[in-house]
Structure 1
């Protein structure tokens, strides 16, 4: 009987050794995906589309590689660190397509699970706020207002996803997005008031 258990444990060890090896590979890939996605977003904010596209394509290859090596390890593929990497990639992808005024890619098109894609949309709203603030700093209020209007529509769509936390933790992203929208509207309103005041002051100075 003891020999039987030893054989079983040896089989278990082989399976777990392979899974541990795949886990280490997956961790390295997810770290690189997160880094490249972040580099893409930073480049987009700088207006460096060439670097952004390059980093996004590099991340795309790693996303495909990650899916391939975890084909036989679905339990690892749907872990938190893989989902986080997917979210970062989705965020970069959506921001890239938004700035280029292109259609957004479908989850299947970029090989991302639907749940991670939905969570990435929540992060995308946060990135749009950064873009919005940069526009305000450069006194581009009309463009900033367009970005806010898009954020509002995007949030309305995201808010239609009502599912339990055990399926997808979308509620947290929705709450964060709503808070971001409220702050963004406050910033926009303040900027428009200040702009109107500046205009009136200028008119007053130019009066005969």
Structure 2
């Protein structure tokens, strides 16, 4: 047996042990990021903005810890689970900003990759549909039109990003889903607005008939 084989084996074990420990530390944190972001989105739907902001802050801190843990293990950092956590983080942040008419932060400001950011932004458009429908039930048509415009703008951005899926992490498929959500939402809102206009016309006609009837009764007296 070569004299240095034991040393090579020991070095390999030490290296892989460090890599395994880093992965075991980062993976649970990525799952916690996803849970925090899911709960933040739920809080935003409930208009619990303070809670949503706090959960986003927790997710941000966890992502920084993951980044630090995997600084010397870039192969694990790009294995996929960090991307998923970043995507959920982008979705939660962008969704909260859109519902509050705030400017969207970019990927650099969030400290995440652009592929994760764009996929998260696309999924935020899906959450915005649900939020829009809630506003529609409350009769807030002006807000609904604004949110639909946001969805339209997001889709216009997504279709301009034309790169292979290996670069964008499957953004093309996500964009196709966003298009379907956008068109369905547009149809729902258009139907609701036409119904609202019809109800308003009926109400105005009813008032006119009442006024005409009252005037006729007064003239007969």
Partner of residue 140, structure 1: 140
2:132–2:144 contact (8 Å) kept in structure 1: yes
Partner of residue 94, structure 1: 94
| TM-score relative to the length of structure 1 | 0.93
Partner of residue 173, structure 2: 172
- Higher mean C-alpha displacement, 190-199 vs 66-75: 190-199
| TM-score relative to the length of structure 2 | 0.88
Partner of residue 218, structure 2: none
- Higher mean C-alpha displacement, 92-101 vs 126-135: 92-101
Identify unmatched segments of 5+ residues in structure 1.
none
Partner of residue 63, structure 1: 63
Deviation digits for residues 38-96 of structure 1 (CA, Å, limit 9, x no counterpart): 11111111111111111111111111111111111111111221111100100111122
**1-side partners of 2:163 and 2:38: how far apart?**
29
Once the two structures are TM-superposed, the CA of residue 201 in structure 1 deviates from its matched residue by 2.9
Once the two structures are TM-superposed, the CA of residue 2 in structure 1 deviates from its matched residue by 5.6
**2-side partners of 1:106 and 1:193: how far apart?**
37
Cα separation, partners in 2 of 1:193 and 1:13, compared to 1, 3 Å: same
Q: Check if 1:193 corresponds to 2:194.
A: yes
Q: Check if 1:109 corresponds to 2:84.
A: no
**2-side partners of 1:54 and 1:160: how far apart?**
33
Once the two structures are TM-superposed, the CA of residue 197 in structure 1 deviates from its matched residue by 2.3
SS in 2 for 1:195: helix
SS in 2 for 1:163: coil
**2-side partners of 1:105 and 1:92: how far apart?**
12
Once the two structures are TM-superposed, the CA of residue 128 in structure 1 deviates from its matched residue by 1.0
**2-side partners of 1:49 and 1:41: how far apart?**
10
Q: Which has the larger radius of gyration?
A: 2
**1-side partners of 2:89 and 2:36: how far apart?**
8
Count residues with an aligned counterpart: 208
**2-side partners of 1:199 and 1:109: how far apart?**
46
**2-side partners of 1:32 and 1:117: how far apart?**
18
Identify unmatched segments of 5+ residues in structure 2.
211-221
Partner of residue 23, structure 2: 23
Q: Check if 1:51 corresponds to 2:51.
A: yes
